Structure 1
Amino acid sequence: RALWAPWVLHAGLGPEDAFSGQIAKVIAFALEAAGAPIVKGGARNLLAAFEALIKERGGEIRVNADVASVVQSGGRASGVRLASDETLSATKSVICSVTPTQLYGRLLGRDAPEAA
């Protein structure tokens, strides 16, 4: 059971959720049928490829820049405001690699979309 519990979490379910037992079987089947692809040379190569793709398309990656909030305009993310008070505008999209609590509680704050 301990082997499958983390895979269920990837589906957004907890071990106590009603469907978690079934999704564990679906994930097990998918891993058996297709395998679990691993990047040749390690995970760093995956990050390097993603970084190159972003830069190739005119994007920018910043590290060690704390984001205070996601700026919204017209119902969509249009940039970010850094803790330094600098605002970065996005022409197409904003990518966040944070937990849902960080995104909806801290970065979107009261401007977060309401659940349906």
Structure 2
Amino acid sequence: MHKTLAAVSAALIALSGAAYAQTTIITKDPAVTGSTTMELPGEVRTYVMEQTVPSVTYDGTLAVGTALPDTVEIHTIQDHPDYAYTVVNEQRVVVNPQTRTVIQVLE
């Protein structure tokens, strides 16, 4: 009986992890997070991809860890206050709203 309970528990834990992984994108950027991984909720990516905002031109290199200048307007995500977004050089980017640092460049 204990072996059956342990097997069922292990299966449920494995399945819940798989379901969670489907809604999460992992990006590595120690400059932004202070660690080597950061979880970006899938609904944040979906929201950003669905929004229509004008693209702004940025002359610098656009990459994870780039701090966008104050002249680039960023848009907050109401249900996710730790994330913001904008479109720069025709590329959608997720930004840390406190530091204006690019967390992820979406494709």
> What is the TM-score when the length of structure 2 is the normalising length?
0.27
Report the structure, 1 or 2, having the larger helix content.
Answer: 1
Higher relative contact order at CA 8 Å, sep ≥6: structure 1 or structure 2?
2
Report the structure, 1 or 2, having the larger strand content.
Answer: 2
> What is the TM-score when the length of structure 1 is the normalising length?
0.26
